[in-house]
């Protein structure tokens, strides 16, 4: 009888407009590893198909198509994601709003289109999380024309779902990376902790620091550099303040480490929109969470549990 040895397996596939990478170490053999990778990709694509606003058959499209008309029955998974988005609206004082998707009619980050004051004024009345009613397994918009967009929480949710699937398959060492949102399982195959770099928001070839992930954690970053353009010396990016319809100012990136990537993603978005002081205060007040905020000036702020980041921040401030 053959003895199976531990081996590294890697799966890459396009997902949610970016790249999905799943790596895991197991002694299951090639045939079983292929079964696991197929399940992992299938789960990621299930979530994308269900919650993408760009797919006409998605749950999200159904909800948006019936906005202002009648309640839509939703399952527990959908209700949980919507509730998380509404909670984030409260946490950020309205800076994040899951109904901000209508503003894509005004902004175009591919062509560098900046909306006029009038264009934003016409759409902002439709950005109103308080007009979303989530009750008894149904969701309803009280204003026609509103749109729900779960892009602020969906990708991180998919990362966790795939990581949980790997654990259920007996995998003890893994890394799931969906366009920079990461979840680790256990330690690396060589026994060392996973190390994830925090990218310099102005130089993609350089990391500002590396963070050891311990025995498994989630990490997510919100930054002003992925969907962005610079015009007349001003950077415009997709992380909009829902109160104004304009890009949030102050931070270039917010990276958060939490037990799960979903929590890390929500907090990274919140911290970015809140800014360095309020964002750092939020992270410090949340148990089992650490984070690094990089200002537009390049100054770095870190939570108390990240001593190397604090040292780097001090060096930048005194340079």
Dihedral (Cα; 90, 95, 97, 99), 10-degree rounding: 140
Phi, psi of 95 (to 5 degrees): -65, -40
Closest C-alpha among 295, 262, 302, 267 to residue 282: 267
102 and 28 housed in the same domain: no
269 and 248 housed in the same domain: yes
Closest C-alpha among 137, 140, 125, 11 to residue 63: 140
Residue 150 lies in a domain: no
Residue 114 lies in a domain: yes
Rg from Cα positions in the chain:
20
Domain boundary at 141, 174, 202, which? 141
CA 227 to chain centre: 14
214 and 290 housed in the same domain: yes
For position 308, what pLDDT does the model report?
52
Q: Please count the structural domains in the chain.
A: 3
pLDDT in tens, 135-162: 989 999 888 889 999 887 889 999 999 9
167 and 96 housed in the same domain: no
Give the β-pairing of 300-302 and 290-295.
antiparallel
187 and 302 housed in the same domain: no
CB 257 within 8 A of CB 215: no
Residue 154 lies in a domain: no
The pTM of the full predicted model, rounded to 2 decimals, is 0.92
Residue 249 lies in a domain: yes
Instruction: Give the CATH number of the domain where residue 92 resides.
Output: 1.10.3980.10
210 and 283 housed in the same domain: yes
15 and 108 housed in the same domain: no
CB 236 within 8 A of CB 247: yes
36 and 184 housed in the same domain: yes
Residue 229 lies in a domain: yes
Instruction: Give the CATH number of the domain where residue 264 resides.
Output: 3.10.520.10
For position 2, what pLDDT does the model report?
52
Give the β-pairing of 173-178 and 181-185.
antiparallel
CB 274 within 8 A of CB 250: no
Residue 157 lies in a domain: no
Residue-range definition of the domain harbouring residue 267: 193-318
For position 312, what pLDDT does the model report?
46
Cα gap 2→160, rounded to integer Å: 33
267 and 308 housed in the same domain: yes
Cα gap 213→188, rounded to integer Å: 10
240 and 285 housed in the same domain: yes
Residue 98 lies in a domain: yes
pLDDT in tens, 169-192: 999 999 999 998 999 999 988 888
Q: Which residues of the chain have pLDDT under 50?
A: 1, 3, 309-319
Beta strands in 80-125 (DSSP E): none
For position 29, what pLDDT does the model report?
87
Domain boundary at 191, 206, 228, which? 191
Residue 153 lies in a domain: no
172 and 39 housed in the same domain: yes
For position 216, what pLDDT does the model report?
84
For position 42, what pLDDT does the model report?
97
204 and 309 housed in the same domain: yes
């Amino acid at each position: 009888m053959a003895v199976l040895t531990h081996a590294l397996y890697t799966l890459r596939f396009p997902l949610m407009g970016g790249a999905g990478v799943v790596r895991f170490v197991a002694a299951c053999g090639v045939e079983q590893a292929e079964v696991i990778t197929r399940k992992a990709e299938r789960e990621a694509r299930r979530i994308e198909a269900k919650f993408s606003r760009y797919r006409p058959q998605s749950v999200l499209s159904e909800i948006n198509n019936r906005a202002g008309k009648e309640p839509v029955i939703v399952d527990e998974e959908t209700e949980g994601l919507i509730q998380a988005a509404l909670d984030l609206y409260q946490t950020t004082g309205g800076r994040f709003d899951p109904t901000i998707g209508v503003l894509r009619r005004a902004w175009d980050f591919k062509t560098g289109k900046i909306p006029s004051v009038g264009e934003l004024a016409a759409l902002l009345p439709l950005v109103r999380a308080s007009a979303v009613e989530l009750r008894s397994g149904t969701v309803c918009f009280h204003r026609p024309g509103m749109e729900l967009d779960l892009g602020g929480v969906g990708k991180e949710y998919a990362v966790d779902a795939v990581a949980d699937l790997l654990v259920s398959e007996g995998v003890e060492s893994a890394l799931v990376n969906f366009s920079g949102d990461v979840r680790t399982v256990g330690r690396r195959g060589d026994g060392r902790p996973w190390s994830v770099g925090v990218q310099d928001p102005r130089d993609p070839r350089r990391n500002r620091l590396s963070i050891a992930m311990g025995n498994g954690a989630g990490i997510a970053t919100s930054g002003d550099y992925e969907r962005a353009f610079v015009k007349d010396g001003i950077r415009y990016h997709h992380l909009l303040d829902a109160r104004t319809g304009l890009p949030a100012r102050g931070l270039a990136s917010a990276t958060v480490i939490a037990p799960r990537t979903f929590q890390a993603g929500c907090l990274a978005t919140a911290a970015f929109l809140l800014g360095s002081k309020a964002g750092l205060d939020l992270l410090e007040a949340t148990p089992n969470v650490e984070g690094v905020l990089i200002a537009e000036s390049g100054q770095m702020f870190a939570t108390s549990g990240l001593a190397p980041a604090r040292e780097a921040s001090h060096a930048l401030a005194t340079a």
